[in-house]
């Protein structure tokens, strides 16, 4: 069952993925994929309980955040420890400028963000009002997008400013590549918007309409995946074409020349972002987010009341 990613139950669920390189940009193909990456998947050893919605890598560890007001961290994506966080339905986490930043789903003003240098000890951040779905770090700044036609940016992850010119759509994810930020929406008349700086945005209504859950950049392409239809791809974030996949997906990542998308107890892979094929025998679970770092893909999610993590590829 593919779920509409942005309508998970607030408070019990509610959700991708910003990965990073050694300094300022998200991880894409900084490492070659380790042996078996994207094809053979393993179950992590007893991850903490939680509805894990977002994952990233930085400062020598994977860090994931949960809709159940918690975080967890791991040096290898296999053995995990839980960390307590300020209250918040955390949906996404990114790393940049030496610290992690997470954003939350919220309907009132106040602490809809948090930050940590190590992914273990967290402190609250006050952000602009918004139902924040995804945060990334690229081009020397954090950029976050969310529902109700909202986007915001910050040079340090602490002081945030609302972006201008954002179309009134439910923005579910954002990625960076080829000198621009590109965001996709779950619904609304504007399926795509783009920006050179994350501050001022331009809509692209000619892009295919769909319930776009997540977007990534790799191999010279932006690739967006949907809950209910085939993925789409673009070399510039403006002109888009449809790819082919067996079913819809919840989250997507690029690493080591491979695109991987995850859904409910299903994984698909692609070498070009256009043609996708299912991976045999993936681990069971409702997979919400995926990251790639050091030759390894790591996906997080949940199953009933249990936290779920699976990984693929040898660590480098």
Domain range spanning residue 288? 5-312
Cα torsion 130, 136, 142, 143: sign: negative
pLDDT at 17: 33
pLDDT at 187: 83
Distance of CA 253 to the CA centre of its chain: 8
pLDDT at 9: 32
DSSP type of residue 265: T
- What's the predicted TM-score (pTM) here? 0.89
CATH number at residue 299: 2.130.10.10
pLDDT at 31: 59
pLDDT at 24: 35
Report how many domains make up the chain.
1
pLDDT at 35: 61
pLDDT at 163: 93
The whole-number mean pLDDT for each consecutive block of 10 residues of the chain, a chain of 316 residues, reads 40 33 38 73 91 96 94 97 89 96 74 91 88 96 93 94 90 97 91 96 92 96 94 97 93 95 94 94 92 96 88 91
pLDDT at 29: 42
């Amino acid at each position: 069952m593919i779920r509409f990613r942005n309508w998970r139950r607030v408070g019990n669920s509610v959700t991708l993925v910003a990965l990073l390189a050694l300094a300022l940009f998200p991880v894409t193909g900084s490492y070659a994929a380790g042996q078996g990456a994207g094809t053979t998947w393993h179950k992590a050893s007893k991850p903490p309980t939680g509805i894990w919605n977002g994952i990233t890598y930085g400062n020598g560890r994977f860090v994931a955040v949960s809709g159940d007001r918690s975080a967890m961290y791991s040096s290898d994506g296999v053995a995990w420890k839980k960390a307590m966080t300020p209250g918040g339905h955390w949906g996404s986490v990114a790393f940049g400028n030496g610290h992690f930043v997470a954003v939350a789903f919220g309907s009132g003003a106040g602490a809809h963000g948090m930050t940590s240098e190590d992914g273990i000890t967290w402190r609250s951040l006050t952000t602009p009002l918004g139902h924040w779905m995804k945060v990334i770090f690229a081009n020397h700044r954090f950029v976050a997008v969310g529902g109700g036609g909202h986007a915001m940016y910050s040079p340090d992850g602490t002081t945030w400013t609302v972006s201008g010119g954002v179309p009134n759509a439910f923005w579910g994810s954002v990625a960076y590549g080829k000198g621009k930020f590109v965001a996709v929406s779950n619904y609304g008349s504007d399926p795509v918007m783009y920006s050179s700086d994350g501050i001022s945005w331009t809509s692209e209504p000619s892009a295919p309409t769909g319930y776009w859950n997540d977007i990534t950049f790799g191999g010279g392409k932006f690739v967006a995946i949907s809950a209910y239809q085939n993925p789409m791809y673009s070399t510039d974030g403006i002109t888009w074409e449809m790819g082919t996949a067996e079913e819809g997906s919840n989250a997507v990542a690029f690493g080591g020349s491979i695109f991987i998308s995850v859904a409910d107890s299903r994984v698909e892979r692609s070498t070009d972002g256009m043609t996708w094929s299912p991976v045999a025998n993936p681990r069971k679970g409702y997979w919400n987010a995926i990251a790639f770092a050091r030759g390894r893909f790591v996906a997080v999610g949940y199953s009933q009341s249990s936290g779920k993590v699976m990984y693929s590829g040898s660590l480098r």
